[in-house]
């Protein structure tokens, strides 16, 4: 009997598959992230919002009045990196810092009305960039992509490794 070689979709993954950047999941994610970020930043700039400020605003729109440490954790940055961002947000009039009433050592970050109003203006840009990026892609393929990326995130997010 003649053996057929497996189709590219069925053959086992080989180490060499990841030396070609176009076959590397990490590389493709990085390139796509940079393109998404660039598209979004070009829209945010007209409102005086930097990409770093954007990440913090997104977190604060979901839960306002959190500590500096909580903001750092949710943005995925070290506290030392977050301090200049908080100063920038404050200088732009997007947040105020308040002393925590229960623990005076903690500083709470609170959105201003100006920042709250920005949400309605900026969030449509997220939908716009996502529509641009996913034009011509079947909804089922997009859902598969979301599941795969969520699994990769889970696999790499500090799970116990044996």
Q: What is the pTM of this model?
A: 0.76
Q: Are 57 and 94 in contact (CB under 8 A)?
A: yes
Q: Which helix (H) or strand (E) holds 51?
A: helix 51-62
63-87 CB burial, b ≥16 within 10 A, e <16 = eeebbbeebbebbebeeeebeebbe
* Structure letter (DSSP) for residue 107: E
Q: Are 130 and 123 in contact (CB under 8 A)?
A: no
Q: In what order do the strands lie in the sheet with 95-99?
A: 66-67, 107-111, 95-99
Q: Are 45 and 92 in contact (CB under 8 A)?
A: no
Alpha-carbon distances of 146 from 94, 99, 139, 155, rounded to whole Å:
32, 40, 11, 14
Q: Are strands 95-99 and 66-67 parallel, antiparallel or unpaired?
A: unpaired
Can you give the pLDDT at residue 65? Answer: 94
Higher pLDDT, 43 or 104: 43
Determine which of 3-17, 58-72, 124-138 has the lowest per-residue pLDDT on average.
3-17
Dump pLDDT digits (tens) for 49-58: 998 899 999 9
CATH number of 19-128: 1.10.10.10
pLDDT higher than threshold 80 for residue 155: yes
Can you give the pLDDT at residue 160? Answer: 54
Largest CA distance in the chain: 79
145: Cα separation from own chain's centroid: 16
Calpha distance 74→14 (Å, rounded): 36
CA 79-83-85 angle, to 5 degrees, is 115
List beta partners, residue 51: none
Determine which of 18-27, 58-67, 92-101 has the lowest per-residue pLDDT on average.
18-27
Dump pLDDT digits (tens) for 89-131: 999 999 999 988 888 888 899 999 999 999 999 999 999 999 9
Q: What percent of the chain has pLDDT over 70?
A: 86
């Amino acid at each position: 009997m003649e053996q057929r070689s497996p189709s590219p979709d069925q053959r086992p993954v080989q180490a060499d598959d990841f030396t070609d950047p176009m076959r590397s999941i990490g590389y493709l994610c990085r390139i796509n992230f940079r393109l998404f970020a660039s598209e979004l930043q070009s829209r945010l700039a007209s409102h005086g919002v930097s990409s770093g400020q954007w990440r913090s605003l997104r977190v604060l729109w979901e839960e306002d009045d959190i500590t500096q440490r909580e903001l750092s954790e949710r943005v995925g940055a070290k506290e030392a990196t977050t301090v200049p961002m908080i100063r920038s947000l404050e200088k732009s009039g997007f947040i105020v810092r308040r002393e925590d009433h229960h623990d005076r050592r903690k500083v709470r970050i609170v959105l201003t009305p100006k920042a709250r109003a920005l949400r309605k203006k900026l969030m449509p840009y997220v939908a716009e960039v996502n529509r641009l990026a996913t034009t011509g892609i079947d909804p089922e393929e997009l859902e598969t992509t979301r599941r795969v990326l969520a699994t990769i995130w889970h696999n790499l997010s500090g799970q116990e490794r044996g």
